[in-house]
Amino acid sequence: MPTYHNAGGGYPNVSAPARQAKLDGNQNHHTIPSNVTSHPLIQNNTQQQQQQQQQQHSVPSNLIASSIPSHPVSPTMTMHSSVTTSNITTHMNTTSSPMILTSNTINPGATTALPANPRHEVKLNAMPWFHGKISRETAERLLRPREDGLFLVRESTNFPGDYTLCVCYQGRVQHYRVKYKNNQLTIDDEEFFENLALLVEHYEQDADGLCTQLTKSLPKQGKQDFCVDPKAFVEAGWVIQTHELELRECIGKGEFGDVLLGVYRGERVAVKMLKDNSEAAQRFLAEASLMTSLIHDNLVKLLGLVFNNQHMYLVTEYMSKGSLVDYLRSRGRLHVSKKDQINFAYDTCAGMAYLESRHVVHRDLAARNVLVAEDNSAKVSDFGLARDENFSLDGGKLPIKWTAPEALKQNFSNKSDMWSFGILLWEIYSFGRVPYPRIPLADVVKCVEKGYKMEPPDGCPAEVYDIMKQAWDLQPEKRPSFHDIKVTLGQLRAEYTKVVN
């Protein structure tokens, strides 16, 4: 029967011995919980569960969801697609709320043709009922009016890493511990679930030993958490079979793990490898889900994902000349022409203008996160945890010298990306120097907030420096759009082409 945190209370569907057995002494919550995704979740289903899953998804036999080898993923990942329509948010949303991108890894990488298979966008699923790290008292204060079946899920404060299902019944709030057992979630040691979404869905359909059936969720205000469905990549046509990918040498390091050179269908590709089974799995799949919906010539292209027993691989086109900052530093003035510089600036701006048109915010635009292809075209990379602003963002260290003043306070927008683009332009025309070269890092923010702007690099065209200064306006609304700057850079690029020819 469900383990529940309050003593007493008479429920017609629960016997007295069962109620006593549910007591877990979780009356006081003082310990600090670990991260919501700190526990691994292994997709080890029983044979019966696998057969049920195959019946739920009518996909080709060689790509059935259960044929994906066992792989550790985040406990908050949805493992099947039966999520209510109201809980689904797609990357195609073009409402006013921007989506957010965070940097993950630098993957040096030449352009590879996409496989011929039909592809579809992979969606992120919201968990509006998940409130994260709130206390027992806060949950009880939020759950009003006390309608039977009103519920939320929070992190357990007495059992870090576990969760608590809080349900209203007969004017009180009952708290059920959701614990891990054999890498699955359970309340009663009888019913086991791969993730929170499935657990909630089960008790929405049947009380099954709880004080009452879950009938209405209390949505979290502001930024919400989400879950990603690994099987959705199968159904959307993004899974690459293990035997199709040949792995070669390591070509870089990233947040998730190594970045390897690979060969897929006779072409070189870049392969990001996820090594661990922590929350990185969720971030990893979020990156991939975003890349299924954002396709542009100046964005690094996703080719697919590989699932096997040890790792997940994210396969992208290979950009043979590496990161823009390394390219600029290694070749310098002798090999990087003014035409090259304006082309790099235009290509990056074109990619960012596309993101802007899709209401997507990158958050870490810099020359290190732009890659150079064999034909010298530049493409924006590092598509990380991308969500609209209603979803939560993980905190982390911000690249201070590239970040707009308001974004240092977490107010990211396309305008803060424009600030970063101004810094990137300075990098291009200084051949990869570190910004604010004569100012200690600790003093950069103070200087910038007082209105300080870097001087133009040697040889920088006045028109380009003017774009930098516009991008560094302290008032975000006064900064230009990427669309407008793309037009300006396009005109400059045409002029350079005429001069060269």
As a whole number, mean pLDDT of residues 65-93 equals 34
Q: Where are any strands of DSSP class E within 182-328?
A: 184-186, 192-193, 216-217, 225-228, 245-253, 258-264, 267-274, 302-307, 312-317
Q: DSSP of 447-463, one letter per residue?
A: HHHTT--PPPPTT--HH
**To 10 degrees, what angle do helices 414-429 and 462-471 make?**
150
As a whole number, mean pLDDT of residues 396-407 equals 86
Q: What share of the chain is helix, strand, coil (3-state, %, to 5)?
A: 30, 20, 45
Residue 253 in marked binding region: no
Where along the chain do the CATH 3.30.505.10 domains lie?
Answer: 126-227
Note the pTM of the prediction, 2 decimals.
0.66
Pairing of strands 150-155, 163-169: antiparallel
Count of alpha carbons within 13 angstroms of residue 344, beta-carbon side? 31
**To 10 degrees, what angle do helices 462-471 and 482-500 make?**
170
Q: Where are any strands of DSSP class E within 156-244?
A: 163-169, 172-181, 184-186, 192-193, 216-217, 225-228
Q: Residue 419 pLDDT more than 50?
A: yes
As a whole number, mean pLDDT of residues 146-162 equals 93
Higher-confidence position of 302 and 382: 302
Reported as type and span, the H/E element at residue 290 is helix 280-291
CATH number for the region 231-317 comes to 3.30.200.20
Whether 340 sits among the annotated catalytic residues: the reply is no
Retrieve residue 309's tokens. Answer: 């027993």
Higher-confidence position of 292 and 276: 292
Q: Residue 324 pLDDT more than 80?
A: yes
pLDDT of residue 354: 95
Higher-confidence position of 67 and 475: 475
Where along the chain do the CATH 1.10.510.10 domains lie?
Answer: 322-390+397-499
Q: Residue 320 pLDDT more than 60?
A: yes
Among all chains, which residue has been given the structure tokens 């993004």?
Answer: 238
Q: Residue 37 pLDDT more than 90?
A: no
Query: Nearest-CA neighbor of 150 among 140, 160, 159?
Result: 140
Q: Where are any strands of DSSP class E within 139-206?
A: 150-155, 163-169, 172-181, 184-186, 192-193
Q: Which of 225, 364, 388, 473 is catalytic?
A: 364
pLDDT of residue 72: 35
Give the C-alpha separation, 373 to 99, whole Å.
26
Give the C-alpha separation, 391 to 385, whole Å.
10
Retrieve residue 271's tokens. Answer: 């392969």
pLDDT bracket for residue 21 (50, 70, 90) = very low
Residue 382 in marked binding region: yes
Q: Residue 340 pLDDT more than 80?
A: yes
Q: Residue 49 pLDDT more than 80?
A: no
> pLDDT tens digits, residue range 185-236?
899 999 998 778 889 999 999 999 999 999 999 999 876 676 666 777 888 8
pLDDT bracket for residue 501 (50, 70, 90) = low
pLDDT of residue 218: 96
Give the C-alpha separation, 128 to 383, whole Å.
24
Q: What is the 3-state secondary structure (H, E, C) of 310-368?
A: CCEEEEEECCCCCEHHHHHHHHHHHHCCHHHHHHHHHHHHHHHHHHHHCCEECCCCCHH
Query: Nearest-CA neighbor of 369 among 355, 356, 358, 383?
Result: 383
Tell me how crowded residue 36 is: count the other CB atoms within 10 A of its CB.
21
pLDDT of residue 112: 43
Give the C-alpha separation, 281 to 413, whole Å.
26
| Average pLDDT score, the chain | 76
Tell me how crowded residue 20 is: count the other CB atoms within 10 A of its CB.
10
Residue 368 in marked binding region: yes
Query: Nearest-CA neighbor of 233 among 165, 171, 286, 196?
Result: 286
Q: Residue 476 pLDDT more than 50?
A: yes
Give the C-alpha separation, 313 to 241, whole Å.
11
Give the C-alpha separation, 296 to 126, whole Å.
26
Pairing of strands 216-217, 150-155: parallel
Can you name the residues that pair with 216 across neighbouring β-strands? 150
Higher-confidence position of 484 and 41: 484
Among all chains, which residue has been given the structure tokens 């003043």?
Answer: 405
CATH number for the region 322-390+397-499 comes to 1.10.510.10
Q: Residue 311 pLDDT more than 50?
A: yes
Retrieve residue 429's tokens. Answer: 């025309």
CATH 3.30.505.10 fits 126-227, yes or no: yes
Q: Residue 127 pLDDT more than 50?
A: yes
pLDDT of residue 63: 35
pLDDT of residue 276: 54
Q: Name residues whose C-beta falls within 8 Å of residue 330's C-beta, 6 or more positions apart in sequence.
A: none
pLDDT of residue 42: 26
As a whole number, mean pLDDT of residues 31-45 equals 30
Residue 95 corresponds to which amino acid? T
Q: Is 397 exposed, middle or buried (0-12, 13-18, 19+ CB in 10 A)?
A: exposed
Dihedral angle of Cα 6, 10, 16, 19, to the nearest 10 degrees: -30
Q: Name residues whose C-beta falls within 8 Å of residue 393's C-beta, 6 or more positions apart in sequence.
A: 100, 102, 223, 385, 387, 410
> pLDDT tens digits, residue range 95-125?
333 444 433 333 444 444 444 456 788 876 6
Q: Is 54 exposed, middle or buried (0-12, 13-18, 19+ CB in 10 A)?
A: middle
Can you name the residues that pair with 177 across neighbouring β-strands? 164
pLDDT of residue 101: 41
As a whole number, mean pLDDT of residues 77-96 equals 32
pLDDT bracket for residue 342 (50, 70, 90) = very high
